[in-house]
């Protein structure tokens, strides 16, 4: 372990891996969490008896302006 810490190339490689792996992992974790929350919201709206059009209006209203462009195509 001591020789590993003295190897500059190993330290640089480890730093690069950590600086790319952690943000990437957090990005995908956030996307998965958001997808789960969206699915829960849709299930609750279906349980309340909302129609597909009503659900679509709610989802468009709660999305960001950039996401609204996707829905209006």
Which residues in the chain show pLDDT less than 50?
A: 73
pLDDT of residue 36: 95
pLDDT of residue 46: 94
pLDDT of residue 21: 96
User: What's the domain range around 27?
Assistant: 2-71
Distance CA 2, CA 41 (A): 52
Distance CA 59, CA 42 (A): 9
pLDDT of residue 72: 53
pLDDT of residue 6: 77
Distance CA 8, CA 34 (A): 39
Number of structural domains (the chain) is: 1
């Amino acid at each position: 372990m001591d020789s590993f810490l003295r190897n500059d190339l190993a330290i640089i490689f480890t730093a690069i891996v950590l600086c790319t792996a952690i943000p990437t992992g957090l990005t995908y974790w956030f996307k998965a969490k958001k997808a789960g929350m969206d699915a829960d919201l849709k299930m609750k709206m279906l349980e309340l008896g909302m129609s597909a059009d009503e659900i679509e209006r709610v989802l468009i209203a709660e999305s960001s302006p950039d996401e609204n462009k996707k829905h209006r195509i």
